[in-house]
Structure 1
Amino acid sequence: MNILITSAGRRVSLVEAFQKELTAVFPQGKVMTTDFNIKLSAACQVSDQSFQMPLVSDAGYFDRLLKVCLDNDIKLVIPTIDTELLLLAKKKKQFSDHGIKVIVASEEFVQMCRDKREIHVFFENHNVQIAKEYSKYDYKLPIFIKPKNGSRSIDTYTITKHEQLTKYHFKNDDLMFLKYLDHNEFDEYTCDLYYDKTHNLKCIVPRKRIEVRDGEVNKCVAEKGALVDYLKERLSFIDGAIGCLTAQFFKHKETNEIFGIEINARFGGGYPLSYFVGANYPKWLIQEYLQEEDITIEYFADWEENLLMLRYDKEVLVHDYKE
C-alpha cells in the first residue's frame, strides 16, 4: 500500500504527514514522490523513494507516471500542482483500471477551478459574493489585475494610478480587471476544505494569511469564526469534489462581508497548519481509499483554534551529491 505524491518540490511537511499516517496503518507502506528534478527537491530527499519525471506538458508524462505506479505498487496518487490536475482528471479511469486511485476532482470541476471567470460563476451560483470584474473600457481605480488561469501570484498587479497601466494589460485577454479589495479593510483567508468520496464537506479550516512569499503562505493563523458557518451553509456539497480543496476568501474586518476569490482542487502549500491543528486529511484519505472496510468520515470541527504557523527555511543535506 504505497502512496505517490507528484511534483513534490519542497512539500516536505506534506510528505512527512503522509508517512506518519500511512505507516500507522500499513507499517510497510512507503510514501514516494516525483519531480522534474529529484536531486534538487527537498521533498524527494525525505520521501522513501523518488522518481525523475518530464514536464507535465511532455507527451510522455502520463505513460511515465503510470509506469512508476505499476512498478512500485502505488495505490494512491496525490497531485500537488495546478498544471497536472486536468490531465490526471482526464486519465483517472485508466489509473482506476489498474487499481490506482488518483485524488483529483472531476474533469468538469477541475476545469472550472482553472478558469477564474468560471469559478466566479460557481461562487455566484452558491450565493458567495465576488469582486466585480470591470470592462477594460469602463473601470474604476483602484483595481487588481490577475490572469484568469494563473497561479502562484504570477502576472498580478495592483493598479492605483492610470500611468501604471500598459498596453500589455489591455491587449492580454487573459487578464481580468477586478475591483480592488483593500488589505487595510479585508483579511485574506485560505481555507482547507475536505470532501469525502461522496463529495460532501467534512472539514473547514480557515487560515488567515499574515505573510506570503512566492505565492505561498509564510505566516498564518488558524481561526474559527464567520467563515466556517458561511462555507458550511453554502458549500456543503460540491459535485465532483474529493479530498483537499484550497479556497481563498476575503473577509471585511468590521462587517464580516465575505468575497470568494478562487479555488484550487489540491493540497495548498499552507496545508501543514491544518494538519497541525488536527484536521488530518492524509489519515482520512488513507481510510477512505486504502483501507478495505467501508469508513464514513464524520464532519470534524474540533480542531485547535488560534494556532500560529511561522515558516522558515530548513536545510536538507544530501551527501555525495553529483550533477
Structure 2
Amino acid sequence: MPRSPRLTALVASVGKRNALVRCIRESARDLALDLRVVTTDASPLAPASYESDDHVLVPRIEDARFAQDMLDVIESHEVDLVIPTIDTELGWLASTSDALSSMGVTAAISSEEAVTTALDKLATAKYLREKGLPAPATWDEPPTEPTLYPIVAKPRQGSSSVGISLLSSPADDPGGDLVYQHQLVGPEYTVDLYVDRSGCPLATCVRERLAVRAGEVNKARTVVHEDVTRLATEVADELPGAW
C-alpha cells in the first residue's frame, strides 16, 4: 500500500511534553510541511496527548508487549519519523532503527553503539578514558582505600537519580550492578547539542543546574561556558554515530 504524502511524526512516551509537540508543529509550519502528530504513552491522561492528532496507549517498556505494540502503531499510523523522549526506550529504538528504516521510517536516534555506550555508566567512563577525555575516577567495585572516600555509588544503567547513594566506606556498599565514582563538588552543567546526520555538532546550549527533581532539571540558567562547550563537542565528535 503506498504511503500517504502527509508526514506523520510519532512522539513516544509524550507525558507532559506539550511544548515539544507544539515545537514540532511550528517547525513543520515553517517548512510548509503537512504534518500529523501521533503520540504514545502508558497513560490515557498524558497532558501532551491532547496536543496530538491521535494518541495511542502502549504498555511500559518493561512489558513484553511493548515492542510489538509500538511496531503496530508505527505501521497502522504510517509513521515517518519516531521521536523518543525517555532514556529507557532509547536502547529498543536504536536496536530497531535498521528495521524501521527498511519500512521507510526514520528513527531520531543515535547509533546502537553510541546509545549502548551512553546508557551504561561504566562503558561511558571507559570510553571517555580511552579517548583522553576528562571524567571522574570510576570503578566497577568499591575501592578498598579509605582515603578515596566519600564515593558515589549508582546503578550502571540507572536514570532519574534512582538508587544513588553516597558511601563513607566500603562497608556502606549496598551491592548490585553498580558503578563507583569520586564525588565531584561544584556547579553542575547540562549540555544540549544539535548534531546533524553526519555526526557533526552544529550548536550547543549549556545550562547550569539550579534545582533538580528526580534527576531532571526543573530550574536552570543558560550560560556561556567555553570549556564545557568544548568538552561536550569533543565527546560528540568522538562518539560513533551520534545524532
* TM class, shorter-length: 0.7 to 0.9
User: 1:126-184, CA deviations, whole angstroms, 9 ceiling, x for partnerless residues?
Assistant: 3221111254251422221111110000001133x459x64xx3432x122211112xx
2:36: which partner in 1?
30
1:118: which partner in 2?
123
Query: Aligned pair 1:92/2:93, yes or no?
Result: no
Contact 1:146–1:175, Cα closer than 8 Å, also in 2: yes
Contact 1:136–1:170, Cα closer than 8 Å, also in 2: no
Contact 1:146–1:155, Cα closer than 8 Å, also in 2: yes
Contact 1:200–1:236, Cα closer than 8 Å, also in 2: yes
Secondary structure, in 3 states, of the residue corresponding to 2:62?
coil
1:181: which partner in 2?
184
Contact 1:127–1:234, Cα closer than 8 Å, also in 2: no
Q: Tell me how far apart the structure 1 counterparts of residues 150 and 41 of structure 2 sit (CA, whole Å).
A: 39
2:110: which partner in 1?
105
Aligned length: 233
Runs (5+) with no aligned partner, structure 1 = 243-323
Runs (5+) with no aligned partner, structure 2 = 1-6
Deviation of 1:234 (Å): 5.2
Contact 2:82–2:106, Cα closer than 8 Å, also in 1: yes
Query: Aligned pair 1:14/2:20, yes or no?
Result: yes
- The one of 149, 157, 163 equivalent to 1:141 is 149
Residues 237, 26 of structure 1: alpha-carbon distance in 2 compared, 3 angstrom cutoff: farther
Give the TM-score normalised by the residue count of structure 1: 0.67
Contact 2:150–2:169, Cα closer than 8 Å, also in 1: no
> Structure with the greater relative contact order (CA < 8 A, sep ≥ 6): 1 or 2?
1
Q: Which amino acid aligns with 1:150?
A: G
Deviation of 1:82 (Å): 1.7
Q: Tell me how far apart the structure 2 counterparts of residues 229 and 171 of structure 1 sit (CA, whole Å).
A: 36
RMSD between aligned residues: 2.0
Contact 2:199–2:236, Cα closer than 8 Å, also in 1: no
Which moved further from structure 2: 205-214 or 227-236? 227-236
Q: Where does 1:1-323 land on structure 2 (aligned, <5 Å)?
A: 1-37=7-43, 39-134=44-139, 135-139=141-145, 140-159=148-167, 161-162=168-169, 166=172, 169-172=173-176, 174-182=177-185, 186-225=186-225, 226-233=227-234, 235-242=236-243
Q: Tell me how far apart the structure 2 counterparts of residues 24 and 82 of structure 1 sit (CA, whole Å).
A: 29
Secondary structure, in 3 states, of the residue corresponding to 1:92?
helix
Residues 145, 171 of structure 1: alpha-carbon distance in 2 compared, 3 angstrom cutoff: closer
Secondary structure, in 3 states, of the residue corresponding to 1:7?
coil
Residues 105, 65 of structure 1: alpha-carbon distance in 2 compared, 3 angstrom cutoff: same
User: 1:202-254, CA deviations, whole angstroms, 9 ceiling, x for partnerless residues?
Assistant: 11111110101121101111112221233335543532111xxxxxxxxxxxx
Deviation beyond 4 Å, 4+ runs, structure 1: none
Deviation of 1:95 (Å): 1.2
Give the TM-score normalised by the residue count of structure 2: 0.87
Q: Tell me how far apart the structure 2 counterparts of residues 74 and 87 of structure 1 sit (CA, whole Å).
A: 17
